[in-house]
Structure 1
Amino acid sequence: MLILLPPSEGKTAPRRGKPLDLGALGSPALGEARRRVIDALAATSSRADAADVLGVGHTQLDLLERNRTLESSPTARAEAIYTGVLYDALGLTTLSPAARRRASSRVAVVSSVFGLVRPGDRIPAYRLSGDTTLPGLGPVAGVWRDTLGDAVTASLGRGLLVDLRSGTYAAFWRPPAEMASRVATVRVLHEHGGTRKVVSHFNKATKGRLVRALLEDGRDPRDPAGLAAVLRDLGWHVEENAATPRGTQLDVVVSEV
């Protein structure tokens, strides 16, 4: 099983640590694309219009400095870099030892700078949204669309892909139709007063808790129906939708976070 997560917009910048070593990151085949994005990001962050291009508020200009010094800044394990509702609920650093070992092989973050990041990869904090177009490079999503698929499929092997990415990062790569029988996406629906709707906070927090529960449980379902069964065993209300050429969507219905 491979669980794909979106990155968080907010990141914890390490105060100390070794500088970035691209050659030490997982999925080394992404090295050339990583280099292109890093160089373009550094150049863009030095432009007079950098804040506008990168969507950085004028009270957050320190984020541009992070981008300019990406390769000399301290790094930490990615599990400590990504923050926010999903990652707080997931709590990668507080998993049991066995669950942390599972996370190292079953969890990957889709990153606008690094493509695919494992929890143990050492990276610096950065600011680059997945819908950004970098001058001289083009849309970030386009860079990864050409290269990310091979890295994901190599990491996945013959297992189940649990795709929890947001729409922005889903655009980096979409599973081909021949993989559909082993692709599961998850939609979290908040039910209140007989009405169901997607609420961002519930969606992120619930996905984080789902992933934590799966890692602690340890079972390795091979298809969407198997994943739905495991989640039900773990106490979630799960409704399985019809299979499509893109995979099977599981609806997880919650009434409170």
Structure 2
Amino acid sequence: MLILLPPSEGKAAPARRGRPVDLAALPFPELTPVREELLDALAAVSAEPGAAGRLGLSPGLADEVARNVALRTTPARRAIEVYTGVLYAALDHASLGTGALRRANRTIRVQSALWGPVAPTDPIAPYRLPMTATLPGVGTVAARWRSVLAPVMTGLAGDGVVVDGRSSSYASVWRPTGPAAGAYVAVRVFTEVAGRRTVVSHAAKHTRGLVARWLCEADRLARTPQHVAAVVAEHRPCALVPDGRGGWFLDVEDRER
């Protein structure tokens, strides 16, 4: 099983001390050239006036964007400590039991726009870079990752089920194709009013974090889309729906049972 999550928009503050990110020590050394390229381009843009706007970010984030200039020397911390927000609060990685924690570290990957797919325990530095940004000499960040990610992600997924909790811009960089598409499950969250289902957005982050937690806490590793749905159904009403591309949507209701 591979559980894919998006990075949070907000990030924890950099650690006060410690070693910076060692790119050579991050998983998938074949991605090092892309990481180097993105780091250099991001630092150059972030040093310019109006950098936040050029990255598609709010001017109020100018101070955080300025930190991008020093990412090569910023002390690193575990990815799960960098990402904050409602999804990661719902996952609550630190409170997982021993077995669930081991499964989370083995199966969860965060699709970072800067670092690529990272596990909860991988050391990274806090950064500001949306997947939708365009960098000089690089182009659109999402397109750059699409050009290199397929072999890495296909290897990560293996022959197991892929549970996708990413937002659309992050999901756009990779999904299984061919025969492996049948093991792909994208989590959608809806609310029902007067018999009509409506997809929700912000609240979906909380539910997707819970789905990841439930799958890590389950008695057995989910190996099929149907097994994923069965685990989630123990906590919330849900349904598997064909996505029209060979895979599945898991529609999960946004309420406690």
Settle same-fold status: TM greater than 0.5.
Answer: yes
Residue of structure 1 equivalent to 2:236: 236
Q: Is the 8 A contact 1:180 1:244 kept in 2?
A: no
Look up the equivalent residue of 2:2 and give its one-letter code. Answer: L
Residue of structure 1 equivalent to 2:67: 66
Task: Give, in whole Å, the separation in 2 of the partners of 1:96 and 1:80.
Answer: 17
Task: Give, in whole Å, the separation in 1 of the partners of 2:246 and 2:224.
Answer: 13
Deviations 1:176-205 (A, max 9, x none): 132111111111111234332122232111
1:98 and 2:96 correspond: no
Residue of structure 1 equivalent to 2:189: 188
Task: Give, in whole Å, the separation in 2 of the partners of 1:162 and 1:242.
Answer: 14
Decide which moves more: 92-101 or 70-79: 92-101
Task: Give, in whole Å, the separation in 1 of the partners of 2:243 and 2:50.
Answer: 45
Task: Give, in whole Å, the separation in 2 of the partners of 1:242 and 1:173.
Answer: 18
Q: Is the 8 A contact 1:63 1:126 kept in 2?
A: yes
> Per the alignment, in what secondary structure is the counterpart of residue 120 of structure 1?
coil
Residue of structure 2 equivalent to 1:250: 250
Look up the equivalent residue of 1:249 and give its one-letter code. Answer: F
Task: Give, in whole Å, the separation in 1 of the partners of 2:60 and 2:253.
Answer: 38
Task: Give, in whole Å, the separation in 2 of the partners of 1:59 and 1:167.
Answer: 24
Task: Give, in whole Å, the separation in 2 of the partners of 1:59 and 1:46.
Answer: 16
Q: CA deviation at 1:214?
A: 1.1
Decide which moves more: 57-66 or 182-191: 57-66
Task: Give, in whole Å, the separation in 2 of the partners of 1:187 and 1:58.
Answer: 31
Q: TM-score, normalised by structure 2?
A: 0.94
Residue of structure 2 equivalent to 1:47: 48
Task: Give, in whole Å, the separation in 2 of the partners of 1:49 and 1:238.
Answer: 44
Task: Give, in whole Å, the separation in 2 of the partners of 1:214 and 1:77.
Answer: 21
Look up the equivalent residue of 2:68 and give its one-letter code. Answer: N
Q: CA deviation at 1:67?
A: 0.5
Q: CA deviation at 1:244?
A: 3.3
Judging changes above 3 Å, is the alpha-carbon distance between structure 1 residues 202 and 51 closer, same or farther for their aligned structure 2 residues? closer
Residue of structure 2 equivalent to 1:199: 200
> Per the alignment, in what secondary structure is the counterpart of residue 39 of structure 1?
helix
Look up the equivalent residue of 2:240 and give its one-letter code. Answer: E
1:5 and 2:5 correspond: yes
Q: How does 1:11-50 map to 2 (within 5 A)?
A: 11-13=11-13, 14-50=15-51
Q: Is the 8 A contact 1:239 1:252 kept in 2?
A: yes
Q: CA deviation at 1:175?
A: 2.1
Q: CA deviation at 1:78?
A: 0.3
Q: CA deviation at 1:256?
A: 5.2
Q: TM-score, normalised by structure 1?
A: 0.94
The number of residues matched between the two structures is: 256
Task: Give, in whole Å, the separation in 2 of the partners of 1:84 and 1:182.
Answer: 28
Task: Give, in whole Å, the separation in 2 of the partners of 1:256 and 1:72.
Answer: 44
Q: How does 1:159-178 map to 2 (within 5 A)?
A: 159-178=160-179
Residue of structure 2 equivalent to 1:79: 80
Residue of structure 1 equivalent to 2:145: 144
Residue of structure 1 equivalent to 2:227: 226
Unaligned runs of 5+ in 2: none
Look up the equivalent residue of 1:207 and give its one-letter code. Answer: R
Unaligned runs of 5+ in 1: none
Deviations 1:145-178 (A, max 9, x none): 0111111111121111111111111111232132
Task: Give, in whole Å, the separation in 1 of the partners of 2:11 and 2:137.
Answer: 26
Look up the equivalent residue of 1:4 and give its one-letter code. Answer: L
Decide which moves more: 208-217 or 238-247: 238-247
